[in-house]
Structure 1
Amino acid sequence: MPGKPLGEGIEIRDGREADVEALLPLLRGYCDFYEVSPPDSGLRELADTVIADPAEGSLFVAEEGGALIGFAVMGMKWVSTRGSRAGHLEDLFVSPDARGKGVADALIARCAERCRELGGTALGWITATDNHRAQQVYDRVGGMGSTWMEYELEL
């Protein structure tokens, strides 16, 4: 998979229970970017659940010098138009001071690797139409834009 090389001393790994408190500021940074404010309890539950139960998804972290500098959350689903399983990158965030070090590229690559391990034939994601920096990353790693529109039903 193409992409920017990962900076020296940065590790991409599975998230662990011990990471949850350090993940909260990154999760909050992601939410702040999208101007939403779920409660910390919900963010903790997301991290705890995905870390504890692989059937719920995968949470990867980027670590540099013992500090978490980014994360990605992905899940798997069946896609009838493919006749196969595919991964969906739900969340991707790199702390502002760690951007430009190849962290986002490496997190996407790790999600793609996990997706393949689980029998997935594609990895998809969405982004805001005005998130041009992220779109540059997605283009760099070989992502292709889609003509599909996303809808959401609030429950």
Structure 2
Amino acid sequence: MNHHVVIRPATEQDISELYELMLQYIVDFYKQPVPKERDLKDLIHYLMENPSSGLQFVAEHQGELVGFATLYFTFSTLKVKKQAILNDLFVIPNARGKKIGQKLFQACLEYIRENDFAFMTWETAKDNKIAQSLYNKMGGKLSEWLYYEIS
């Protein structure tokens, strides 16, 4: 695979391929249960139809999607600006090691900077050393804030 990869916002024409990529990400990579097809496609549609809620970028190589990134938008009261959460960053296994993840990350970063967001946050698994290496290389810093969750 050469390095000619196009990073661009997802469009209606990408939905079936993006759906398949997101399934790989959810089920194969993160070992989560298979979501209902309608629910996942509804999420993709929702982001396309509600750009104030978020945005998905795709990585395209020779007409085929090989990766994606999802930004969700919220607000920072302390900064009195919008903030973005980089919720997903995924590249298919046979396209890894070719700086596609870096290009997707860079597209997200450029988007938030061009649109005057306060910052972009993200999380990764404690044992995902490959992702941590990318984030460190891209200039990311561990937050001073602790991340909690509850279901």
Q: TM-score normalized by structure 2?
A: 0.90
Give how far 1:90 is off: 1.0
The residue number in structure 1 matching 2:32 is: 36
Range with greater deviation from structure 2 (16-25 or 79-88): 79-88
Counterparts in 2 of 1:1-155, with a 5 A limit? 8-32=3-27, 33-37=29-33, 38-154=35-151
Secondary structure at the counterpart of residue 47 of structure 1 = helix
- Percent identity, aligned pairs only, is 35
Q: TM-score normalized by structure 1?
A: 0.88
Secondary structure at the counterpart of residue 120 of structure 1 = coil
Give how far 1:84 is off: 2.6
Secondary structure at the counterpart of residue 36 of structure 1 = coil
Structure 1 unaligned residues grouped into runs of 5+? 1-6
Assess if the C-alpha contact under 8 Å between 2:112 and 2:120 holds in 1. yes
Q: Would you say how many aligned residue pairs link Structure 1 and Structure 2?
A: 148
Q: Which runs of 4+ in 1 moved over 3 A?
A: none
Give how far 1:99 is off: 0.6
Assess if the C-alpha contact under 8 Å between 1:75 and 1:88 holds in 2. yes
Cα distance between partner residues in 1 of 2:122 and 2:66: 21
Cα distance between partner residues in 1 of 2:97 and 2:109: 20
Range with greater deviation from structure 2 (34-43 or 10-19): 34-43
Q: Render the CA deviation track for 1:76-126: whole Å, top value 9, x for unaligned.
A: 221123333221101110001111111111111111111123220211101
Cα distance between partner residues in 2 of 1:150 and 1:39: 28
Secondary structure at the counterpart of residue 140 of structure 2 = coil
Q: What is the root-mean-square deviation of aligned Cα atoms in Å?
A: 1.4
Assess if the C-alpha contact under 8 Å between 1:59 and 1:74 holds in 2. yes
Secondary structure at the counterpart of residue 46 of structure 2 = helix
Cα distance between partner residues in 1 of 2:95 and 2:42: 26
